[in-house]
Amino acid sequence: MKKPSRLSPVVLLLVSCLRSPLLVAGTFQWDKDSLDDCHQREEAGQCTTDSVTFYQCPMTCTKNIKAEGMRKQGEAEDPEDFFELKTPLANGKMLKFEKFEGYVTTFVVIPLFPGMAQYYFDMMEHLHKVYPFTLEIVVLPIRIDTHPDVKLTIPAKTKITVLPEIKREAGSESLAESNNVLEYLEQVIFPGADFIFTDRVTAYFVAYNAGFVEKEDSPTLDFMERLVVHYQGEMEWKQEF
């Protein structure tokens, strides 16, 4: 097993604050609307039709697409099943999940809508730079029929793993059936069913030992940072005993 970072949750949280877009760039803040007319833009459908509104109005754009009252946590019956998973990469090679052992792993399902898709990918880039030694991030893009030309802008030296685009296969009853990774994650959360939305981003957090999976739709950066710190704390605690 790869050894996780010995940095404490408190130190990691301080690093997160120091590297926030607000303090570094001075002009952009995650998780905050920057315009006064965000409500009007959201009502006009601009959140998922142009490339800038989601950056300017992220909180307004997500407030009406969060699922309430749904099960979002699950314990794996056999965590080793996770580390035995494999899935193809765009270059034809296989991604073996054994590489994630000892890391907090986040799988982010991103529908390819204008603005929304790039906003969340850029957020994941920021998150990984804050926790480069304890966090692995895998992005699963979903192709949206109404926006066939939307593509993610991915830095050449990104540390994020981006899987091939997902499309619901003919004859499948759910999106999870079209992808073995999603199928596994959903079965841990809610055996026998899946609730994968194609109008919003969904993130799955897998504990360092794969024993626990937590799910959140339309996550904020603040929520994701707090969850990473939580799982980092669990790793630190386990190492002490």
Q: Which residue has the higher pLDDT, 3 or 228?
A: 228
User: Considering only CA atoms, which of 127, 139, 178 is closest in space to residue 19?
Assistant: 127
Average pLDDT over the chain, rounded to an integer: 85
Q: Where are the domains of the chain?
A: 9-30+65-240
pLDDT of residue 232: 87
Answer with the residue of higher pLDDT: 216 or 191: 216
Task: Let me know how long the chain is.
Answer: 241
Note whether 204 and 214 are within 8 A (CB).
yes
Predicted confidence at residue 117, as pLDDT, reads: 97
DSSP 158-206: --SEEPPPB-PPTT-SSSGGG-HHHHHHHHHHSTT-----SSS-EEEEE
Q: Which amino acid is at 192?
A: G
| Predicted local distance difference test score (pLDDT) of residue 240 | 54
- pLDDT tens readout for residues 153-168: 999 999 999 999 998 6
Question: Is 22 a residue whose pLDDT tops 70?
Answer: no
pLDDT tens by residue, 34-91: 999 999 999 999 999 999 999 999 999 998 787 666 668 999 999 999 999 999 998 8
The pLDDT assigned to 196 comes to 80
Q: Show Cβ contacts of residue 4 under 8 Å, excluding neighbours closer than 6 positions.
A: 102, 103, 133, 134, 208, 232, 235, 239
Q: Is the pLDDT of residue 238 over 90?
A: no
152 in Cβ contact with 162 (< 8 Å) = yes
**What is the residue whose two structure tokens read 């949750």?**
9
- Quick check: 122 pLDDT over 70? yes
Q: Is the CATH number 1.10.940.10 carried by domain 9-30+65-240?
A: no
pLDDT tens readout for residues 158-206: 999 999 999 865 555 567 777 899 999 999 998 877 778 888 999 999 9
| Higher-scoring residue by pLDDT: 96, 90 | 96
Question: What is the mean pLDDT of the segment spanning 4-18?
Answer: 41
- The answer to whether the beta carbons of residues 224 and 4 sit under 8 Å apart is no
Q: Find out whether 201 and 63 touch, Cβ atoms under 8 Å.
A: no
User: CB of 203 within 8 A of CB of 219?
Assistant: yes
